[in-house]
Chains A and B, each alone.
Chain A
Amino acid sequence: MSKTTLTRRGVLRTGAVAGAGVALPTIFTASSARAFTNEPTGGSVTLGFNVPQTGPYADEGADELRAYELAVEHLNGGGDGGMMQTFSSKSLEGTGILGKKVEYVTGDTQTKSDAARASAKSMIEKDGAIMITGGSSSGVAVAVQGLCQEAGVIFMAGLTHSNDTTGKDKKANGFRHFFNAYMSGAALAPVLAKAYGEDRKAYHLTADYTWGWTQEESIKAATEALGWETVEAVKTPLAQTDFSSYIAPVLNSGADVLVLNHYGGNMVNSLTNAVQFGLREKQANGKNFEIVVPLFSRLMARGAGENIKGILGSTNWHWSLQDEGSQAFVKSFGTKYGFPPSQAAHTCYVQTLLYADAVQRAGSFDPCAVAEALEGYEFDGLGNGPTLYRAEDHQCFKDVLVVRGKENPTSEFDLLEVVEVTPRGQVEYAPDHPMFAGGALGSCNPGA
């Protein structure tokens, strides 16, 4: 090691290799003008499914992944076609997308913005994914949506319920099918007022991130408009697993309703703690103490078990819906996996079909053409009735379900009953509504 011998040949060789390395790339700089990031060239196209496989939302992530695999199968002509049969657009033929076979890569978001962006980046840079979809947290959705905007690919949001995703953090390359906190509030408040009366005092426990904040804001606004009073709103960390210390003060606060702005594992734990403290048997202000979980899902209901019975909440979709699209989806999901899909699975499946259909209609994978095909698009047959992808903020508008934990479940999946289907008209809002103000879509970015 101590002796350095320089040979003429060695120097020449090193120099030549280095020179070639530096000079070669410039040959390829002059690429075509209308190119876009990851334009699929071969006989296949790659989609990126970025879901939480570890962390508090891992259950949702696993179900989302199942839905994506099912969607890919259907797009490639396998299985029974699922919702492609009932979808109002008939441009998908089961021959992939634009004749290209659909392939996919998966990644773990860990429900952390950093990890999710790293995972999405590797899908875009390494695997050549043309579209990124998934996620079960609004924080992650906002972060990945930002990344996709910068990288120039389409982002089809998975489960994200925060107003910000299509509000102040909306992006031209991002699209959301799932409903949002404002819609939950608008749908839930009248039902709450009818069931529990109009002079209630509410205590909020809120997951401390973008979704929790906007959900708390929305529910507060909607219930206060009907005469409720908000006693206090306490933020809890997302990683919290034991909520005892947060539940104890509720008893002496003078409140008679506890609103749990929690989701996934968080909600299972906080609800279990609340029931253990005997909140549901309590009387406050001469009324029965009630618990409300504004965003419900079947996976959470299963986690919370007995505790969920009789509790009101809202949900994007439920497998017991009787329309043709829902039935077709439940049937093919059930055939493949042996149990009904969750709302997370539904929204992810639908997003994949919607993307594929938009590409098909646009006749190109160019993100700008796809965005144009999705903007202002009216469709039906995907489980929520007639739905509109609004051009102003890339948010879907459709009916919202108000559900209640079933008192006498007939199976381990039959845990929620639909109390009311709130019509689309009641949950619509102007694009410049104060809860959604402050952001701009910007212009579509095709990347490269």
Chain B
Amino acid sequence: MFGLGKRDLTLFFIVAAMALFAPFILNPFPTDSGMAQFNAGYPDLMQRFVIFGILAIGFNILFGLTGYLSFGHAAFLGVGSYAAVWMFKLLSMNVIPAILLSMIVSGLFAVVIGYVSLRRSGIYFSILTLAFAQMSYNLAYSVLTPITNGETGLQITLDDPRILGVSATADGGIPVTNLFGLEMRAYETLNIGPWAFQFSVGYYVAAVIMLISFYVAIRIFRSPFGMMLRAIKSNQNRLYYTGLNARPYTLAAFVISGMYAGLAGGLLACMDPLAGAERMQWTASGEVVLMTILGGAGTLIGPVLGAGFIKYFENIFSKINDQVVHGWVSFLPDGLEDLVVALIHPFVGKGWHLTLGLMFMLIVIFLPGGLVEGGQRIARRLRRKPSPDDAKSASTEPAE
């Protein structure tokens, strides 16, 4: 079905189910329990999960298939965001034109950067892309301030023209981003006992786009074009000797990957109409690399998992402050409590980078294939047992 093999179809349905039921999966703890701190099922973070998932899927098409490590992918993300916000400012608050323009602009941008950068490979390619991204960042930050609004970031205002929409709503507010009237920020809360699940329009729009992107990525992975990209990764010289020119293929992969990043940037702007220059900073580019390696480079689902992992740490661990830790260990005697808090302190709150760094080291050292390898190892261990129950969830998926 959909031109996918059985395994890929199963994977696709697992991802689809995860995306559909994310508000439940990510909110395992009752709202007023102490563990509610670890719930991630609120619209903003769920949107980030899928949007950065798109970014990582796109990055993986380049890095996972061709082996070209781009250190400048954040530039496309930023360009996509700026394009989308300008669309909101000039045309209308509908997200469709914004998403389309962000993909087109980032695609063009990728053609230019890719044409120059792909003349080199390996570390030189990485440095070239990094240089281009930093250039874009600095341009957006200062010289291009009339277009990008510098450090403050580009925002929509009451006096934007919006030719197809309205400059201001009837009650004098700034109109919100929507999909033919369906507001991105609208959400419904479903209360089941002590649990509260939030279903956000923005999240489901982003999730559907993520699924489409994921599907396209699977098709690319399994296509002859994908095979050619893999050939480039394994031995580019041999490819040249057989008389094939690899450049058009790598450029195509680079542009596709850049358009994915632009799409992610455009979606970020759709969920929250602001574009800031720091989206293009080299740390943001590095984050995409981390996501892909953490999840498992070259695998289909790995980058999505890696993106979720990093965003979870950034948004959940950074919000655990000393007061919260004190709450957890309040059952201990006073002196011991302070000691435990002092020990945990460097790893939570503003120390979330440290925790993430440690996790990254552990994963790279013990699971070189990323989270996907971890999952495979667990699955293999379970399968060795007499009753293999692990594939059950997959087998109950309807196949239509």
Contact = CB atoms under 8 A, between A and B. Distances in A.
Interface string A335-347: 0000000000000
Interface in B158-193: 158-159, 168, 171-174, 176, 185, 188-191
Contacts of A322: none
Contacts of A125: 42-44, 198
A25 interface: yes
Contacts of B399: 4, 6
B10 interface: yes
Contact of B153 (A3, A10, A114): A114
Interface string A271-309: 000000000000000000000000000000000000000
Contacts of B10: 1, 4
Given A114-B276, A209-B152, A235-B142, A442 B44 contact: no
A440 B159 contact: yes
Contacts of B323: 106
A391 B155 CA distance: 24
B319 A440 contact: no
Contact of B188 (A26, A164, A208): A26
Contacts of B138: 237
Interface residues of B, number: 56
B151 A210 contact: yes
Nearest to A26: B188
A149 interface: yes
B6 A443 contact: no
Contact of A440 (B20, B152, B158, B171): B158
A105 B349 CA distance: 11
Contacts of B6: 1-2, 4
A105 B350 CA distance: 14
A25 B168 CA distance: 30
Interface residues of A, number: 59
B391 interface: yes
Interface stretch (A90-98, A116-124, A184-192, A396-404): A116-124
Contacts of B173: 149, 442-443, 445
Interface string A122-158: 1001100000000000110011001101110000000
B142 A5 contact: no
B184 to A, nearest CB: 10
Contacts of A1: 6-7, 10, 391, 394
A112 interface: yes
Given A117-B274, A126-B42, A208-B141, A442 B152 contact: no
B36 to A, nearest CB: 9
Nearest to A168: B157
A253 interface: no
Best-surrounded residue of A3, A7, A151, A209 (most CB of chain B within 10 A): A209
Contacts of A24: 190
B350 A108 contact: yes
A174 to B, nearest CB: 13
B155 A3 contact: no
B252 to A, nearest CB: 30
A195 interface: no
B213 interface: no
Nearest to B45: A122
Interface in A374-422: none
Nearest to B43: A125
Contacts of A28: 188-191
B131 to A, nearest CB: 17
Nearest to B27: A126
B285 to A, nearest CB: 14
A348 to B, nearest CB: 16
A435 to B, nearest CB: 16
Nearest to A443: B172
B396 interface: yes
Interface string A236-254: 0110000000000000000
A106 B141 contact: no
A146 B274 contact: yes
A53 B159 CA distance: 34
Contacts of B24: 21
B395 interface: yes
A173 to B, nearest CB: 10
A147 B155 CA distance: 10
B321 interface: yes
Contact of A3 (B185, B276, B395): B395
A139 to B, nearest CB: 5
A143 B153 contact: yes
A209 B152 CA distance: 7
A32 interface: no
A53 B349 contact: yes
Given A4-B397, A25-B188, A146-B274, A122 B153 contact: no
B224 interface: no
Contact of A442 (B168, B189, B279): B168
A442 B4 CA distance: 51
B80 to A, nearest CB: 14
Contact of A118 (B48, B188, B349): B48
Nearest to A105: B319
22 contacts: A1-B6, A4-B395, A10-B396, A13-B396, A14-B396, A21-B21, A53-B349, A54-B350, A58-B350, A106-B319, A106-B349, A112-B278, A114-B274, A122-B42, A122-B319, A125-B43, A146-B274, A150-B174, A150-B176, A169-B157, A440-B158, A442-B168
Given A122-B45, A143-B152, 4 more contacts: A28-B188, A125-B42, A143-B155, A169-B157
8 tightest A-B CB contacts, nearest first: A209-B151, A443-B172, A25-B188, A126-B42, A53-B350, A121-B44, A125-B42, A113-B276
